[in-house]
Chain A
Amino acid sequence: METAPAKKTTKKDQRKLILEGFKNHVLEHGTEPASIFKFAQSLKLKEADFYTYFTSFKSIKSAIWTAIFEDTLADLHSQEVFAGYSAREKFLGFLFTWIEELKKSRSYLLVLYGDKGRAFRELPTDTKEFKKAFLEFSEEILAEGKESEEIASRPYVTEKYGEALWLQVMFVFGFWVDDKSPRFEKTDAAVEKSVNLAFDLMGKSALDTFLDFAKFLYQNK
Chain B
Amino acid sequence: MADGVKEQESIPVSKVQRAAKFISTGAKVGGNYVKHYAKKMVNPSLDKEELHQSNAQDIYSSLSELKGSALKVAQMMSMDKNLLPRAYQDKFTMAQYSAPPLSYPLVVKTFQRFFAKTPEQLFDTFSRAAVNAASIGQVHQATLEGKYLAVKIQYPGVADSVSSDLKLVRPFALRLLNMNEKELDHYMEEVEERLLEETDYLLEVRRSREISKACASIPNLVFPKYYSEFSSERIITMDWIFGKHIKEWMETKPSQGLRNQVGQALWDFYHFQVHELKQVHADPHPGNFIIQEDGRLGIIDFGCVKVIPEDFYQGYFALIKKELGMDEEELDRVFYALDFISDKDSPAEKSYFKQVFREMISLLGKPFHVDTFDFSDDSYFEQIFQLGDRISNDKMFKKSRQARGSRHGLYINRTYFGLYNLLNQLQAEVTTTKPDWLK
Contact = CB atoms under 8 A, between A and B. Distances in A.
A196 B106 CA distance: 12
Given A88-B103, A192-B102, A79 B108 contact: yes
Interface string B92-129: 00000000101111101100010000101000000000
A192 B113 CA distance: 17
A80 interface: yes
Given A81-B118, A183-B113, A192-B100, A89 B105 contact: yes
A92 B106 contact: yes
Contact of A89 (B104, B113, B157): B104
Contact of A188 (B104, B109, B118, B120): B109
A85 B120 CA distance: 14
B157 A93 contact: no
Contacts of A192: 100, 102-103, 106, 156
Interface residues of A, number: 23
Given A80-B118, A181-B157, A85 B100 contact: no
A192 to B, nearest CB: 6
Given A80-B120, A196-B100, A92 B105 contact: yes
A96 B109 contact: yes
Given A79-B118, A80-B120, A81-B120, A182 B104 contact: no
A211 interface: no
Nearest to A195: B103
A93 B108 contact: yes
B157 A188 contact: yes
B155 interface: yes
B160 interface: yes
Interface-centre pick from B109, B157, B160 (highest chain A CB count, 10 A): B157
A147 interface: no
Given A81-B118, A92-B106, A188-B106, 19 more contacts: A80-B118, A81-B104, A81-B120, A92-B103, A92-B105, A93-B108, A96-B106, A97-B109, A182-B160, A183-B113, A185-B157, A185-B160, A186-B160, A189-B155, A189-B157, A192-B100, A192-B102, A195-B103, A196-B103
